[in-house]
Amino acid sequence: MRFFVLGFLAFYALVHYYLYRKLSRAFDLGLRARLFTAILLSLATISPVLWRVLDKKGVVEISRPLALIGLLWMGFVIYFFLVGAAVDLYRRFHSPGPRRAFFITLILSLLLSLYSHAETHYLQVYRFTLETSKLSPGIEVKILHISDMHLGPVMREDRIEMLEGVYEKERPDIIVATGDMVDGNMKGLEHLAKRLAKIDPPLGKFAVLGNHEFYVGHEQAIGFLEMSGFRVLRGEGVEVGEFLNIVGVDDPAGERLGYKVITDEVSVLKSVDTSRYTILIKHRPEVEKEALPYLDLVLAGHTHGGVLFFVGYTVLRLMFETDRGLKEIAPGKFIAVSKGLGTGGPPMRLLSPPDVMVITIRGRSL
């Protein structure tokens, strides 16, 4: 975690230095203006650490507006860096002056930021049907799979409204949340938990902890999830209805942060009756080969589809089973990966809109 934070801050400092250089060259800033710009951009560089510290200490009156402003700025300035690199490449073959190049980069970055923010409100609902002989013919169980809501300083009521709309339309039997539902100090946000608690499917709601629950303090995250009506599975399996097992394990980020966690999915799966249809829920879309004989379906999140679609289709598909959607990982065994309802960083997405999954498990004859 420490190395990730340091690495990100180094990258974020580079992004701000790039913006500083572009500003200086475009407008030929004097010494006083350069100094003022450097101080302002230095503060912007450390703002993610500042608002996280304030949020953890409970100074939410300051941390929440600072988080919103800081994360919107983060999205814009990263776009400025990426677009600027493309414009710099273009300038190798053409010669727009530094001021013109700056304004081209600025306008394109603003347009991308506006579109990406709007895309966070365009919810996709994916529907899949899986057949199994472990359920009697004619029996169906509908599961609503949600992930990565990131409730906290920025993600709030609008994410819950999205979930409510799908729930009212689909009326699932079970809701499963695969981590990162909580991403901040939940002080004063009990009304969100009470609102989630009103969503009450007949066979229950189940959740696991993601990396962000451990980052912000897993005890308060568990408290919020339980207040919301979820049973939090931490290295355990439960029998649901007549035909299903749901098994949940902790995210390994907890172990790296020194928490006592249970991540050994194979041991937990071996402890349940696998003649029943067995669903493993976890945060990261990784599956141990040794676990495959004991499960039928894996539900996961974490990837956000890369946030920027090209990250999902390239880097994340090398790191994980997939970055989105349904994938067969062995004959008759599947993993379903949600891009999530919220965002853990800037409230922006590019061609990776938020989603939920409605998965129907249908019985069939042998």
Distance CA 49, CA 169 (A): 40
Domain check: are 141 and 111 in the same one? no
Domain check: are 15 and 100 in the same one? yes
Distance CA 71, CA 347 (A): 7
Distance CA 179, CA 252 (A): 12
Listed residues 86, 102, 119: the one ending a domain: 119
pLDDT of residue 28: 85
Domain check: are 63 and 106 in the same one? yes
pLDDT of residue 1: 66
Domain check: are 174 and 224 in the same one? yes
Positions in the chain whose pLDDT score sits under 50? none
End-to-end CA distance of the chain: give it in Å, rounded. 48
pLDDT of residue 93: 78
* 100-112 confidence digits (pLDDT tens): 999 999 999 999 9
Domain check: are 97 and 188 in the same one? no
Distance CA 243, CA 51 (A): 46
Domain check: are 308 and 186 in the same one? yes
Helix pair angle (218-227, 190-197), 10° resolution = 40
pLDDT of residue 90: 81
Determine the structural domain holding residue 321 and report its residue range. 124-363
Distance CA 165, CA 183 (A): 22
Domain check: are 92 and 168 in the same one? no
Listed residues 96, 119, 142: the one ending a domain: 119
pLDDT of residue 65: 95
Domain count, the chain: 2
pLDDT of residue 97: 83
Domain check: are 133 and 239 in the same one? yes
Domain check: are 351 and 241 in the same one? yes
pLDDT of residue 285: 98
Structure tokens of 213?
Answer: 């629950």
Domain check: are 279 and 314 in the same one? yes
Domain check: are 109 and 130 in the same one? no
pTM value is 0.95
CATH number of the domain where residue 358 is located: 3.60.21.10
Distance CA 25, CA 96 (A): 13
pLDDT of residue 322: 96
Listed residues 71, 90, 119: the one ending a domain: 119
Starting at the edge strand that comes first in sequence, how are the strands of the sheet with 355-363 ordered? 124-132, 355-363, 140-146, 174-177, 205-207, 231-232
Domain check: are 184 and 93 in the same one? no
